[in-house]
Amino acid sequence: MEAIYKTPKTLIDTPTHYCPGCGHGIVQRLIAEIIDEMDIRGKTIGLAPVGCAVLAYNYLDIDMCEAAHGRPPSVATGIKRVHPEKIVFSYQGDGDLAAIGTAEIIHTANRGENITVIFVNNAVYGMTNGQMAPTTLINQKTLTTPHGRSEKNDGYPLRVCEILSVIDGSRFIARTSITSPKNIIKTKQLLEKGFKTQIQEKGFSLIEILSPCPVYWRMSSVESLKFIDEEMSKTFPLGIFKDWENQN
Amino acid sequence: MTSTEKNKKYLLTGNEACAEAAIQAGCRFYYGYPITPQNEILTHMAIRMPQVGGTFIQVESELAAINMVYGSAAAGARTMTSSSGPGISLKQEGISYLAGSELPCVIVNIQRGGPGLGDISPSQADYFQAVKGGGHGDYHTIVLAPGSVQEAADLVFDAFDLADCYRNPVMILGDAQLGQMMEPVVFNKKCKPNLYKKDWALTGADGRKKNIIKSFYPVKGELEKFNAKLQKKYRQIKAEEVRYEEINIENADIVIVAYGTCARICKEFLKKDQSLNVKVGLIRPITLWPFPADIIQKVSERVQAILTVEMSAGQMVEDVRLSVSGRCPVHFYGRTGGGIPTPKEILKKISEIVSVKVKGTCAT
């Protein structure tokens, strides 16, 4: 009998350190599936961020590089310029990409750097126990917004896809979620498109994935998925913001 | 300039010489941000890198520059960035990561006056930052201090070899004077970019086990083990890579310790000034880390005094005092904020040292 659902070759068969209900495991599995299906394990180099996904290099069986907080796009640039024929992606969280690394992501996109960025947005700093992220929703409670995020004191959730889509150097910008099998399949298609954008040398691609953090949202896993569908998606609408295939 | 010929003399600034030497040494990935007094490095790279099929990026910040260097080093290439004072401060985060991930690279640091925005004139006030680490954690960069434009070029060659040999960042520590002045320079050193096998580099794990470049050791005990490995490497560098120049130290009564621009001024003083009735010698550290502690200790056992001359409020003098460990008096003369010591001022300081010595003799 043939197994129709198995561990991808590129995903190391080991327990992860992720909390119950966390989305990182799903996203990293999708990456591994795509690397297997595209048969690019031997020419793919990944960047792990500072944050919950820092140990991604323990789960993906490819060459990987850790980067300082916020700096993966610059490190990825340095790698890609040396190996333009390799496929280079950075895997980043919201604090890494949209707070401390805002300059790096904007300028890397603006240079049209031919890399793929996988941006996992869970609206909270998970690794440091749940402080406000740049993408925390208005009124959302975190350790550092105990009365809820106030626009007056804390500003507004930062919409990365909307910002990057008006930058001339970006080529493929999309936001998706992993709240249902349908959305996970859609996410995989968008990630594939990101890699395809790079392989065809079209330039900078970024896929933002709305992802649950039940532990630091103080919700059950099911409530977390509902929160993404009903609340988070209002501030961060899903969709394709820029696509080189639909540009004149 | 489109290429260089062997034995031909080129009239270049120290900055241009560093940039050209890097290209000759096989560096093909340079990332920089404008800051005076090192801008000529960027402009030279912007012209030359496309000619040799290399990459030049004018980046959005020093953070981006040092992290692109991190990426290119991780990918196995010879890579360089450069800056001065405020920019080097911003790079410290990345330099710590480079040291922690054992990545080879070259950083040219053309010092200017500080603290803060300071000014753009020559200074040696960033010695501590360069030789004591600068960023977080127990680490060292190898620090080379050229005293002339020719030596700057030669040391850039050596810097790339040292970086690859030890998998460690190497800093060229100059100052505005060295960066801006023009001198004849020849590029006769051989490019040896493939001298060291980089089987640890990220190239895509085709037909081999994956490589990981990281400085994160969250499992208890792992980080201490890694630090022990780093310290072992640093001990080896200390044992094998110390470089210095000595002038007239055999029979000297007083020995000056000075590096870079200050050492040039002291050399002028040694050449010209015969009016003293004491013999003065010079030790010029070429490696500031590892520091030439042994030779300084050795001379301290027989000289009357040591004088350290710096364009700072007294930084290298601390390493001189550690080397001397009280065996002889250590005096200091320094200028700050763009002030440059003159041979006349050095003569005055030495006269003071001598007179103190004479007074001391009378008192006994």
Residue B2 belongs to a domain: no
Closest alpha carbon within chain A to B55: A81
Domain match, B47 and B147 both: yes
Nearest residue, CB atoms, A74 vs list B67, B204, B216: B67
> What pLDDT is recorded for position A140?
98
pLDDT of B359 over the 60 cut: no
pLDDT digits (tens, 9 = 90+) for A89-117: 999 999 999 999 999 999 999 999 999 99
Backbone angles phi, psi at A27, to 5 degrees: -65, -40
Distance CA(A140)–CA(B141), nearest Å, equals 45
Task: Tell me, yes or no, whether A170 lies in a domain.
Answer: yes
Grouping H, G, I as helix, E, B as strand and the rest as coil, residue A241 is strand
Instruction: Give counts: helices (H), strands (E), chain B.
Output: 12, 15
One-letter amino acid of B99: A
What's the domain count of chain A?
A: 1
Claim to verify: residue B230 and residue B284 sit in the same structural domain: no
Tell me: the pLDDT tens digits for A3-28?
888 999 999 999 999 999 999 999 99
Is-contact B247 B270, C-beta < 8 A?
yes
Closest chain B residue to A44, measured at CA: B204
Cβ neighbour number for residue B64 with a 10 Å cutoff: 28
Q: How confident is the model at residue B360 (pLDDT cuts 50, 70, 90)?
A: very low
B38 plus B181 within the same structural domain: yes
Residues B81 and B176 in one domain: yes
Q: What are residue B360's phi and psi, to 5 degrees?
A: -60, -40
Q: Are residues B197 and B78 in the same domain?
A: yes
Q: Kindly give, in sequence order, each residue whose CB lies less than 8 Å from that of residue A116, ignoring residues fewer than 6 positions away.
A: A87, A88, A89, A90, A194, A195, A197, A198, A205, A206, A207
Task: Count structural domains, chain B.
Answer: 2
Query: Does residue A54 belong to the interface with chain B, where contact is any CB pair within 8 Å?
Result: yes
Residue of B nearest to A51 (CA): B216
Task: Please give the mean pLDDT across all residues of chain A.
Answer: 97
**Buried b vs exposed e over A83-94: b needs ≥16 C-beta within 10 Å?**
beebbbbbbbbb
Backbone dihedral angles phi then psi of residue B152, each to the nearest 5 degrees = -60, -45
> Average model confidence (pLDDT) for chain B?
95
Q: Are residues B27 and B151 in the same domain?
A: yes
Let me know whether B233 and B283 are in one domain.
no
Cis peptide before B290 (omega within 30 of 0): yes
**Is there a domain that residue A13 lies in?**
no
As a whole number of angstroms, the distance between CA B235 and CA B166 comes to 11
Residue A17 located in a structural domain: no
Confidence of residue B364 (pLDDT cuts 50, 70, 90): very low
Question: Which residue in B105, B328, B133 sits closest to B231, CA to CA?
Answer: B133
Buried b (16+ CB within 10 A) or exposed e, B279-298: bbbbbbbbbbbbbbbebbee
Q: Check residue B361 and give its pLDDT.
A: 44
Q: For A176-196, what is the mean pLDDT?
A: 98
Chain centre distance of CA B232: 21
- Residue B299, token pair as written in the block: 């001379």
Is A4 domain-assigned? no
Residue B4 has a pLDDT of 76
d(CA B221, CA B210): 23
Instruction: Give pLDDT, residue B141.
Output: 98
* Cα-Cα-Cα-Cα dihedral sign, residues B229, B231, B236, B240: positive
Taking 3-state DSSP, the helix, strand and coil percentages for chain A, each rounded to the nearest 5, stand at 40, 20, 40
Task: Give the domain CATH number at A187.
Answer: 3.40.50.970
Residues B277 and B195 in one domain: no
Residues of A in contact with B94 (CB under 8 A): 68, 71
Partner-chain residue, chosen from A48, A76, A107, that has the shortest CB–CB distance to B71: A76
Q: Which of A59, A65, A199 to mutate to test the interface with B (most CBs of B within 10 A)?
A: A65
Tell me if B226 is assigned to some domain.
yes
Q: Is residue A11 part of a domain?
A: no
**Does the residue B71 lie in any domain?**
yes
Residue at B167 is within a domain: yes
Same domain, B236 and B267: no
User: Are the C-beta atoms of residues B341 and B334 closer than 8 Å to each other?
Assistant: yes
Report whether B49 contacts B100 (CB < 8 A): no
Which residues, 6 or more positions from A86, have their beta carbon under 8 angstroms from its beta carbon? Answer: A43, A44, A45, A79, A80, B203, B204
Mean pLDDT of B149-168: 97
Query: In 3-state terms, chain B is what percent helix, strand and coil (to 5)?
Result: 40, 20, 40
Q: Which residues, 6+ apart, have CB-to-CB distance to A153 below 8 Å? A: none
**What's the domain range around B129?**
10-201+213-240
Residues B338 and B197 in one domain: no
The pLDDT tens digits of the residues spanning A208-239 come to 999 999 999 999 999 999 999 999 999 999 99
Give the residue from B30, B33, B68 with the most A CB atoms within 10 Å of its CB, the best one to mutate. Answer: B68
Domain shared by B230 and B288, yes or no = no
How many Å apart are CA A109 and CA A154, to the nearest integer?
A: 26
Q: What is the CATH number of the domain that holds B23?
A: 3.40.50.970
Whether B56 and chain A come into contact, CB under 8 Å, resolves to: no
Tell me if B215 and A77 make a contact (CB, 8 A cut-off): no
Sequential DSSP letters for B156-167: HHHHHHHHHHHT
| pLDDT one-digit tens code per residue, B313-351 | 999 999 999 999 999 999 999 999 999 999 999 999 999
Could you give the ipTM of this predicted complex?
0.97
pLDDT at B188: 86
Assess if residue A192 is contained within a domain: yes
Kindly state whether A65 is in contact with chain B, defined as any CB-CB distance less than 8 angstroms.
yes
pLDDT at residue B277 greater than cutoff 90 = no
Q: Can you give the CATH number for the domain in which B301 is found?
A: 3.40.50.920
For the CA atoms of B174, B180, B181, B185, the dihedral, rounded to the nearest 10 degrees, stands at 70
Lowest mean pLDDT among B82-96, B227-241, B346-360: B346-360
Of the candidates A10, A9, A80, A95, the residue with the CA atom closest to the CA atom of residue A47: A80
What range does the domain containing A164 cover? 24-246
B357 pLDDT band, cuts 50/70/90, is: low
In a shared domain, residues B19 and B57: yes
The answer on pLDDT for B274 being more than 90 is no
